[in-house]
Structure formats: structure tokens, C-alpha cells
Amino acid sequence: MYTIAISNEKGGVAKTTTTLSLGAALAELGRKVLLIDLDPQANLTLALGFEPHNIALSSGDLLLESVPLLSVCQKTTFDNLELIPANSKMDRAEQLLPIHLNYASRLSDAIQEASPMPYEYLLIDCPPAIGAVTRNALDAANLLIIPTQAEYFSAYALRDMMALIRNVRSESNPSIAYRVLITMLDQRNRAHRTIREQLHSTFGDGLFETIIEIDTKLRESPIVGMPITEYKPNSRGSRQYRVLAQELEAYVKQQTNRQPT
């Protein structure tokens, strides 16, 4: 099982869209995928057709009440794709988590206690903030994916994300890796192209080769409660997230082969 946190303190960078679309693309490849919604806004939960107010157990119960992870999982209507939903309980998590001993490892501990699980990938959608909830995700993750637009303020926010990675590596999860994903790229926009080149120069191999371009269908798919691969399977967004899933699989295989036996 490989655990991926998807986070950026800058909002509006297609973080939830990436969690949903990449998870669905991996599921389409036959991988068993669990999505975990840690965002109080519960957009990932809504995008999969769940009503947060009708959910009995959520990620808030997992983090704050130590409810067993597998008891919080919900089946979706899509093959190989399950969800730990969010609801209003996540609103209190940022304030209440720090009163717990070893609060940053509560998600990691829950995953370990539930293992072995019937999933090959865990994808964690984080809130757009660097705090106790996001720290839980990073402590549990093998890989952090940082979606970013090719725009100044979004790229500037990567500084804080790099500082957070260094902090997590030094304190609790020394093996966490990261990859930056450029999203919502407009190839016609000269500024976008320039910042894309700057990101490539800065991050090199730390940048996914796959680029996610602007596609209105990606904005529509959460409204109808379907991943882009189901809603518009032949759209540009579907094709690019499928390529991203393949690139991710190759990366994970490479990392797994490097581990000592």
C-alpha cells in the first residue's frame, strides 16, 4: 500500500480535483484506491455524491475519536474506489488535535492499526492550510503531491511547502518524498509558460512531467458527482490524469525496487 498526501496551502490549485481524478484514473487501471477527505469543506465528499450532513462517521471521528479506519470507509458507485468522507466534525480538528499526545501521528497510527488493508493506494485530500490536520497527512505519507498553478502567488506558496517537508523529514517522517504537479495551465498564456519553465528549472526531477491543462469539464465533474474519467472519459482532463496515473505508477515501482529486501 502506498500513501499519498495532496496538499498546498494555496487554495484554488485543483487539489481536490487532483485527488479525485488521479484516484479514479488509478482505479480505472484496476488498483484498489481509498480516498481520505481531511478538508472541512468536504468538497471531495460532495464530488463523489455524498451529502456530508447525512454521514454518521467521518474523518473527524477517525482523527479525534480514534474510530477504527475501516469502519469509516464508504463504498462509492465506482469500481475500486472507496472514500473516508468529511463532515462538520472536521471543523474542530485543527483546534482539538493538538491537545492529544502525539497528535501528528494519529492518522499514521490509524493506518498501521488497520493494516493490512485491501487497498493499493491511499490518497489524502488536505485542507488549504499548514496545520495539525495537514501534518497528520504528511506524517502518514510516502509521497506528497503539491498541485500548483503556473502563477506567481501559487508558485510562491511552494516555499512554505518546502519548509514543511524539511520539518517533517527532520521530526517524524524522514523518508517522505515530494513531487510538484502543474495544474490549470493555459498554454496560450505567456506568463504561464514562463513560470512553468522556472518551476522546471527549480525543481527538476521533483516536478511531474505530466501537466494538467485548463479544462472546463474538470470543473463540471464534481457538480455531477463523478470523476472526470467517468463524466467525460475522452476529455483532455481525463487523458492527462490517466497519463499522470501511469507516471505515478512508474515512480512508485522505481521507489519500491530501490528499497532493500
Q: Are strands 74-75 and 81-84 parallel, antiparallel or unpaired?
A: antiparallel
Q: Are strands 177-183 and 74-75 parallel, antiparallel or unpaired?
A: unpaired
- Encode pLDDT of 120-140 as tens digits: 999 999 999 889 999 999 999
- Encode pLDDT of 201-251 as tens digits: 999 999 999 999 999 999 899 888 899 999 999 999 999 999 999 999 999
pLDDT at 29 over 70: yes
Q: How far apart are CA 17 and CA 12, in angstroms?
A: 10
Q: Which domains does the chain have, with CATH numbers?
A: 2-258 (3.40.50.300)
pLDDT value, residue 257: 80
Say how many CA atoms lie within 13 Å of 173 toward its Cβ: 23
R_g over Cα of the chain? 17
Q: With 0.85 as the threshold, say if the pTM is over it.
A: yes
Contact 101, 131 (CB under 8 A): no
Alpha helices (H) along 77-227: 93-96, 106-114, 132-140, 152-156, 158-171, 190-203, 216-220
